[in-house]
């Protein structure tokens, strides 16, 4: 047995402690005489597939992760396309809705408004403080498209961190799922005896601000090497707290920046195919967003990079983007607007409110229609027909999660565009057969982006996550397709290659961090790209 000593600081003095040892194999007689590991992998997979409901599969995998994390992550890596939709979208949505009812054991850190003033003491109870490198933090106020789930939102933090481990090899014991319990405005949870959160309405803005300031300061003090991902805060708070903390701590918001980066990547590839079919330059694309919340505006902000990378100014890029919210086209003369919508509000339309999506499409004549509205079936057959009439290869991205909230299905998009649609969704859809060809839907899955971005931030010891680092993750993903994937018309690489993709993205993000001067790992600056990729691969935890 090798004894490993690790240094730590105590009262200003550096000391050594014995590193935690992995458990040894069970002693003779404590397991069956013939327990073949390779057969046991198949046994676990068979047990998983015996469940006839996805929520039951989720519960089984949660138990497996707790009892045998190596087996759990081995299954994830070897059967990525089968297991990802269970531990992430769409099944994680159901798991969050029922979180208080399917709860089995402690997993993660809960900090409630009742802890205000003593958050340091709560954080100190985390059992692996020295190991912590990444946390996903939610307040449960806007989980996917499902609304205010309160403390049930913990399921999303747990799911995201499982993907950090599977997708980028971040060590399981260095992750912290965190749920901030600031109350819930969903009455059915307040009335539910199984609900595990505090039974009060959400606190006001001023009280939340003071709580968040204390929480972030204490997290930084307790975990100086930690990166924090904000997840599923309400729209206004998502923008507010990203802006409030992004230059003080290494934080990013996956709904705003991660979604924007993964959509930009798919759009880069889709736009090239669309322009090749139409003969129009890349700078002529017009993008119509149906949905103007944090995700919609976050994606719109990121897609400005598509135009600036192709030579337009920021102002010219802004004018290629149109927003539609619950009241129709967003434009200045319409009246008062939420702060986050103002940047993309149109000043070149003065007419009456335009609320019908077909009328808006006729006015804008978009090459791309992106849905982030959580309105099921919003892209009707008439809408898809209209997009096909304008464009030889229309770009249609119904990005709302889970599947039941998507603006249209892949089957409908294929049928109403004559198989010419360039399609990516937020949740997975099955491939389609059309006129003897197999057509593959893209999935704008944030899992392509955030694992590599997080790993890079940890390895580079980035003091902040800059816009250039987020853009680098997007460009890295767009460049990650193989020749075979290009030949099949895919917009995103196959998810089964996630470790390889994450390593390449991490390399690109580390270089961006170095260029921005926010990295604190000087030894990585002298490595060649090949050496850096090899270093990243060595750092990935492997089950």
Q: Among all chains, which residue has been given the structure tokens 């006839």?
A: 52
pLDDT attached to residue 492: 94
Burial degree of 252 (CB within 10 A; 0-12, 13-18, 19+): buried
Q: Which of 57, 65, 74, 160 is catalytic?
A: 160
The per-residue pLDDT for range 6-16, each reduced to its tens digit, is: 666 666 677 77
Q: Which of 57, 58, 65, 88 is catalytic?
A: 88
- 424 membership: H or E segment, kind and range: strand 422-425
Expressed as residue numbers, the domain containing 521 is 447-482+492-539
Helix-helix angle 294-309:235-245, to 10 degrees: 60
> Is residue 391 annotated as involved in ligand binding?
no
Q: Are residues 316 and 426 in the same domain?
A: yes
Within a domain: 34: no
Q: Are residues 188 and 247 in the same domain?
A: yes
CATH number at residue 401: 3.40.50.720
The per-residue pLDDT for range 110-127, each reduced to its tens digit, is: 999 999 999 999 999 999
Work out the pLDDT band at 336, boundaries 50, 70, 90: confident
Q: Are residues 244 and 275 in the same domain?
A: no
The per-residue pLDDT for range 434-457, each reduced to its tens digit, is: 999 999 999 888 899 999 999 999
Concerning whether 189 is annotated as a catalytic residue, the answer is no
What are 117's two structure tokens?
């003033």
Query: Where does residue 55 fall: left (phi above 0), alpha (psi -120 to 50 degrees), or beta otherwise?
Result: alpha
From CA 241, how far away is CA 243, in angstroms rounded? 5
Q: Are residues 127 and 213 in the same domain?
A: yes
Write out the DSSP string of 132-155.
Answer: --EEEEE-SSS-TTS---GGGGHH
> Is residue 255 annotated as involved in ligand binding?
yes
Q: Are residues 330 and 425 in the same domain?
A: yes
Q: Are residues 147 and 281 in the same domain?
A: no
Within a domain: 53: yes
Asked if residue 356 lies in contact with residue 275, where contact means CB atoms within 8 angstroms, the answer is no
Which three-class secondary structure state does DSSP give residue 287? strand
Res 368 pLDDT > 90: yes
Work out the pLDDT band at 294, boundaries 50, 70, 90: confident
What are 118's two structure tokens?
């003593």
According to DSSP, the β-strands at 321-325 and 328-329 are antiparallel
Q: Are residues 358 and 427 in the same domain?
A: yes
Concerning whether 88 is annotated as a catalytic residue, the answer is yes
Within a domain: 28: no
Helices (H), 326-459: 357-364, 381-390, 410-415, 450-459
- For 283, 362, 483, the CA distances from 85, given in Å and listed in that order, are 35, 36, 26
CATH number at residue 179: 3.40.50.10380
Q: Are residues 116 and 183 in the same domain?
A: yes
The per-residue pLDDT for range 484-537, each reduced to its tens digit, is: 999 998 999 998 999 999 999 999 999 999 999 999 999 999 999 999 999 999
Q: Share the mean pLDDT of the chain.
A: 92
Within a domain: 144: yes
Q: Are residues 146 and 294 in the same domain?
A: no
Work out the pLDDT band at 318, boundaries 50, 70, 90: very high
> Is residue 142 annotated as involved in ligand binding?
yes
Asked if residue 373 lies in contact with residue 291, where contact means CB atoms within 8 angstroms, the answer is yes
pLDDT attached to residue 374: 87
Within a domain: 523: yes
Res 316 pLDDT > 70: yes
Asked if residue 299 lies in contact with residue 370, where contact means CB atoms within 8 angstroms, the answer is yes
Within a domain: 33: no
Within a domain: 30: no
pLDDT attached to residue 22: 62
Give the contacts of 335 (CB within 8 A, at least 6 positions apart).
Answer: none
Domain end point (choices 213, 231, 252): 252
Q: Are residues 267 and 313 in the same domain?
A: yes
Domain count, the chain: 4
Query: What is the pTM assigned to this prediction?
Result: 0.87
Q: Are residues 344 and 385 in the same domain?
A: yes
pLDDT attached to residue 1: 47
Q: Are residues 110 and 169 in the same domain?
A: yes
Within a domain: 362: yes
């Amino acid at each position: 047995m090798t004894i490993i000593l690790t240094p730590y600081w105590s009262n200003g003095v550096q000391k050594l402690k014995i590193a935690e040892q992995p458990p040894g194999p069970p002693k003779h007689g404590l397991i069956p005489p013939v327990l073949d590991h390779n057969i046991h992998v198949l046994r676990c997979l068979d047990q998983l597939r015996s469940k006839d409901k996805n929520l039951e599969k989720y519960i089984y995998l949660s138990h497996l992760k707790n009892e045998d994390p190596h087996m759990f992550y081995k299954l994830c890596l070897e059967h990525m396309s089968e297991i990802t939709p269970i531990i992430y979208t769409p099944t994680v949505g159901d798991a969050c809705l029922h979180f208080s009812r399917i709860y089995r054991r402690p997993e993660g850190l809960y900090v409630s408004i009742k802890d205000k003033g003593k958050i340091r003491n709560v954080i100190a109870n985390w059992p692996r403080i020295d190991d912590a490198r990444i946390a996903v933090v939610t307040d449960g106020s806007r989980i996917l498209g499902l609304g205010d789930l309160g403390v049930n939102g913990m399921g999303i933090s747990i799911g995201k961190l499982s993907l950090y481990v599977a997708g980028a090899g971040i060590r399981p014991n260095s992750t912290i799922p965190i749920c901030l319990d600031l109350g819930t405005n969903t009455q059915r949870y307040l009335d539910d005896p199984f609900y595990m959160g505090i039974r009060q309405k959400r606190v006001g803005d001023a009280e939340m601000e003071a709580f968040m300031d204390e929480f972030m300061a204490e997290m930084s003090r307790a975990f100086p090497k930690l990166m924090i991902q904000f997840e599923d805060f309400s729209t206004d708070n998502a923008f507010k707290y990203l802006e409030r903390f992004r230059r003080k701590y290494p934080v990013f918001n996956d709904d705003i920046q991660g979604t924007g980066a993964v959509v930009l990547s798919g759009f880069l590839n889709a736009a090239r195919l669309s322009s090749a079919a139409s003969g129009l330059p890349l700078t002529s694309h017009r993008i119509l967003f149906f949905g103007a919340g944090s995700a919609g505006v976050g994606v719109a902000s990121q897609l400005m990079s598509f135009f600036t990378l192709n030579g337009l100014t920021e102002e010219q890029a802004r004018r290629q983007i149109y927003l539609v919210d619950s009241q129709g086209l967003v434009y200045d003369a319409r009246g008062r607007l939420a702060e986050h919508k103002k940047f993309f509000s149109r000043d070149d339309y003065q007419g009456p409110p335009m609320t019908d999506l077909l009328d808006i499409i006729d006015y804008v004549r978009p090459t791309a229609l992106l849905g982030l509205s959580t309105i099921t079936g919003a892209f009707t057959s008439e809408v898809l027909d209209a997009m096909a009439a304008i464009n030889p290869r229309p770009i249609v991205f119904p990005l709302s999660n889970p599947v039941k909230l998507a603006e249209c299905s892949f089957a409908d998009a294929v049928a109403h565009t004559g198989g010419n649609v360039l399609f990516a969704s937020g949740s997975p859809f099955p491939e389609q057969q059309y006129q003897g060809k197999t057509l593959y839907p893209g999935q704008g899955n944030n899992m392509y982006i955030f694992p590599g971005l997080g790993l890079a931030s940890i390895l580079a010891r980035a003091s902040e996550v800059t816009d250039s680092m987020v853009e680098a993750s997007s460009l890295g993903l767009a460049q990650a397709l193989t020749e075979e994937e290009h030949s099949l018309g895919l917009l995103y690489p196959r998810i089964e290659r996630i470790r390889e993709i994450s390593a390449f993205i991490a390399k690109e993000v580390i270089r961006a961090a170095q260029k921005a001067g926010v990295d604190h790992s000087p030894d990585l600056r002298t490595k060649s790209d090949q050496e850096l990729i090899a270093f990243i691969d060595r750092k990935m935890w492997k089950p």
